Chain A
Amino acid sequence: MIDIAGILIDNILYVLLITLGGALISLSVHFVPVGGAPAAMAQATGIGTGTVQLAAGAGLTGLVAAGAVMQVSNSLPLVLAAGAVGAMIMMSVTMIVGTWVYVYGVGCPPASAKVKYDPITKDRQDLYVSQGTEGHGLPTVSYVSGVLGGLFGGLGGSLVYHSLITAGMGPDVVMSNLIGLASVFAVGIFFVNAVIPSYNIGGTIEGFHDPKFKKWPKAVFSSLIATFMCALVAVLAIGGL
């Protein structure tokens, strides 16, 4: 058996950082324009897949980027920056290719059905929304929102990963075991925090201009509690190595 109280007291800072990372991931999902199955048929604005798949894609890319940087440096700002940039690139690439498909493949202009004017470009939206759809494609505001989602998701994911690795670092730790365990815990925490906000928004959202975005405090509160529990068990398991 391991010394539970001792490990917790030593690592309480990391538990809090992991919890913060989880809340950031939860917030990030609200920025990502997810359209789900309707968007896949160009009948709703956003990327045509589910929240979890997108968040997982962006988060795992961030995790890989953060992990690669951690091979050469342990500096927290550098790891966070790498994770954030990795996730932002992943989101941007997904969205630009999606836009090509919608514009050149499906043949519909990117348009939002939730606002009359794009808050960023001030372009008129409602004229371009096809009848019977909830918008289609990725208008500028959704694209910018998605990149912001990548930023927060990547920050959160790499914060969780960095905290787990640092919490488990010890004189007699086998590095491959620690990296494996930290990655698995980070992925688990990421999935939990990707699903909670997706229940909050009911599966689809256009970005920060969507009325559903205002519900984010509920999901972030839920994620804080859920991640705190996950962080406790993760740090106990990792600290006991």
Chain B
Amino acid sequence: MSAGGPGGEAHGGVAPGKMIVFGLLGGLICIYAAHFLAMVNPVFSFIGALGAVCAIVWGADAVRRVCSYGLGTGVPSIGMIALGMGVIASLFGLAVGGLAGPIVAVIAAAIIGLVIGILANKVLGMNIPIMEKTMVEIGVAGALTIVGLSTTMAGTFMFAEVLELVVAPGYIAVIFIAGGMGILHPFNACLGPDEEQDRTLAVAFEKGGIAMVIAGIVSMVISTAAAIPSIVIGLLIWYISFAKFYELTKRDAYKVLGTGLLPTEEELQ
């Protein structure tokens, strides 16, 4: 199941349907909750980043399923197309949708993803059976990641604020790379014949935690009260998932041995 060679369907773990529910519903509910609760008290803006974490984990699982077939061009490409589609769809959704912005973004990302998936299979001849479905998932996950992190940074997903506080200062580039890393890196780091879903997704949670901390630092511009919960919860997610990843790595490894330090020059003689 290497990125370059022929592969097959990914096996085991949580079913794709559950991941879709987790990512899509979790993402949307958190984004709306963050938007409305942050109006009451800006402290709650961190919930938006939790939605982004859900979307990142879902996106990473979709990448895992499609890349198991072997794309021939490396896993990072699919993360970049996810965020490319996602950034176009999410800013379009927020610009025209108003309060329905995140839902419009999801629909736009799904349509763009479906078209690219069909083109990849039918015109480019990639012949990956789940390409259309996963391209939709990856595009939507990318869009929700961007909307979720933007909501935490700006405290709302209304377009005027997002434009002024996230897009114009260039923080959107940070979201682009942090979100893209979250979606593409987990499978890229864990791929191979011994790849396991829980270990890959532990990396996805860990990357989501880092993205959340970054969003928290940016939201410091608006209010310190809003920034602290994001940073603290992000660090907590990062620590728990990294510890989990380390534990699962030890579980999946044939043997874990300490090699000690490198020998000094005298010891070698």
Residues of A whose CB lies within 8 Å of any CB of B are: 1-2, 4, 36-37, 50-53, 56, 174, 176-177, 179-181, 184-185, 187-192, 194-196, 198-203, 218-219, 221-222, 225-226, 229-230, 233-234, 236-237, 240-241
| Interface hit among B33-41, B117-125, B226-234 | B117-125
Q: How many A-B residue pairs have CB under 8 A?
A: 141
Judge whether A233 and B88 touch: CB under 8 Å.
yes
Q: How large is the interface on B (under 10, 10 to 19, 20 to 34, 35 or more residues)?
A: 35 or more
**A195 pairs with B123, CB closer than 8 A:** no
A107 to chain B, nearest CB (A): 25
Min CB gap B150→A, angstroms: 11
- Say whether B87 contacts A184, CB under 8 Å: yes
**Measured between C-beta atoms, what is the minimum distance from B135 to chain A in Å?**
11
Q: Give the residues in chain A near B129, CB-CB below 8 Å.
A: none
> Known: A176-B168, A225-B115. Contact between A202 and B80, CB under 8 A?
no
B29 neighbours in A (Cβ, 8 Å)? none
Say which one of B17-25, B45-53, B66-74, B247-255 lies at the interface with A. B66-74
When the two chains form their complex, are residues A50 and B77 in contact, meaning their CB atoms are under 8 A apart?
A: yes
**Which of B108, B126, B167 is A184 in contact with, Cβ under 8 Å?**
B167
Interface of A is mostly: helix
Closest to A233 in B: B92
Name which of B71, B77, B169 has the most chain A CB atoms within 10 A of its CB: B77
How many whole Å from A211's CB to the nearest CB in chain B?
Answer: 15
Q: Are B168 and A200 in contact (CB under 8 A)?
A: no
On chain B, the residues within 8 Å of A2 by CB distance are 95-96
Which B residues touch A185, using CB under 8 A? Answer: 87-88, 91
A240-B84 contact, Cβ under 8 Å, with A52-B76, A177-B167, A230-B112: no
Question: Distance (Å) between the CB of A11 and the closest chain B CB?
Answer: 14
Which single residue of chain B is at the shortest CB-CB distance from A7?
B96
Nearest B residue (CB) for A215: B124
Contact B96 A236 (CB under 8 A): yes
Given contacts A181-B91, A190-B84, A192-B85, is CB(A37)–CB(B124) below 8 Å? no
User: Could you tell me if B176 and A226 are in contact, using CB atoms closer than 8 angstroms?
Assistant: no
Q: Is B170 located at the chain interface by the 8 A CB criterion?
A: yes
Structural contact, B80 and A191, CB atoms closer than 8 A: yes
Beta-carbon contact of A229 and B87 below 8 Å? no
* A191-B80, A195-B78, A198-B77 known; A4+B124 contact, CB < 8 A: no
9 A-B pairs whose Cβ atoms sit less than 8 Å apart in the complex? A174-B168, A180-B163, A188-B84, A194-B77, A196-B116, A202-B73, A203-B4, A219-B124, A233-B88
Q: Does B181 contact A (CB under 8 A)?
A: no
Query: Contacts A185-B87, A196-B116, A237-B91 given; 15 further ones with Cβ under 8 A?
Result: A1-B98, A36-B73, A50-B74, A52-B73, A52-B77, A56-B80, A180-B170, A184-B87, A187-B84, A188-B88, A195-B81, A198-B77, A203-B74, A234-B88, A237-B96
Question: What residue of chain A has the Cβ atom nearest to residue B126's Cβ?
Answer: A199
Question: Given the complex, which residues of B lie within 8 Å of A201, measured CB to CB?
Answer: 73
Contact call B167/A180, Cβ cutoff below 8 A = yes
Q: By the criterion CB–CB under 8 Å, are A36 and B163 in contact?
A: no
Q: Is the CB of A196 within 8 A of B119?
A: yes
Docked CA distance A226–B85 (Å): 10
- Given A203-B74, A218-B124, A236-B92, answer yes or no on A52-B116 (Cβ-Cβ < 8 Å): no
- A98→B170 CA distance, assembly (Å): 31
Q: Does A194 contact B120, Cβ atoms closer than 8 Å?
A: no
What DSSP secondary structure best describes chain B's contact surface? helix
A240-B96 contact given A185-B91, A198-B77, CB 8 Å threshold? yes
In the complex, which residue of chain B has the Cβ closest to the Cβ of A195? B81
- The distance in angstroms between the C-alpha atoms of A194 and B180, with both chains bound, is 15
Report if B140 contacts A (CB, 8 A): no
Are A181 and B119 in contact, CB atoms less than 8 angstroms apart? no
Partner pick for A192 among B84, B98, B163, CB 8 A cutoff: B84
Pair B123/A184 contact, Cβ less than 8 Å: no
B77 touches A51 (CB 8 A): yes
A201 to B125, CA, bound (A): 11
Q: Contact at A191–B74, with CB atoms within 8 Å? A: no
The listed residue with most A CB atoms (<10 A of its CB), out of B73, B87, B89, B126, is: B73
Q: Which residues of A contact B123 (CB under 8 A)?
A: 218, 221-222
Check B203 for interface membership: any CB of A closer than 8 A: no
Are B84 and A189 in contact, CB atoms less than 8 angstroms apart?
Answer: yes
Which residues does chain A contribute within 8 Å of B168, judged by CB atoms?
174, 176-177, 179-181
Chain A residue at smallest Cβ distance from B75: A50
**Could you tell me the distance between the alpha carbons of A4 and B104 in the complex, rounded to whole angstroms?**
14
CB-CB nearest in chain B for A235: B92
Q: Which of B107-163 contact A (CB under 8 A)?
A: 108, 111-112, 115-116, 119-120, 123-126, 163
